[in-house]
Amino acid sequence: MTSRRSQTAAVLLTVEAAAERLSTSPRFIRRLIAERRIEFVKVGRHVRISESALHDFIDAGRYQIRYPGPDGRMRTGRRLTGGRATPTGRSS
């Protein structure tokens, strides 16, 4: 049960603060809550979102970039270096 307590001890954000962190509107955050797409906590009649829930939501929406390798198979891990896109591990 200590893990549950450590989660509740985390910083809880208001809907407005969570929207500001994501650079979105409070309405978008409320829609995520209504659709149960983001974890939230009810404190009485108030709704709060933990920072970890916000990070989890961001990670769930993260996509890896895929590109064709020299052998024609799709690869991941592309990054931008020096203004050119190069595969990870190789320098330009």
For 38-77, write each residue's pLDDT tens digit. Answer: 999 999 999 999 999 999 999 998 877 777 778 878 777 6
2-60: which CATH topology? Molybdopterin biosynthesis moea protein, domain 2 (3.90.105)
Name, in order, each residue with C-beta under 8 angstroms of 84's C-beta and a sequence gap of 6 or more: 92
For 27-38, write each residue's pLDDT tens digit. Answer: 999 999 999 999
CB 12 within 8 A of CB 41: yes
Q: Is the pTM of this model over 0.85?
A: no
Q: At 60, is the secondary structure helix, strand, or coil?
A: helix
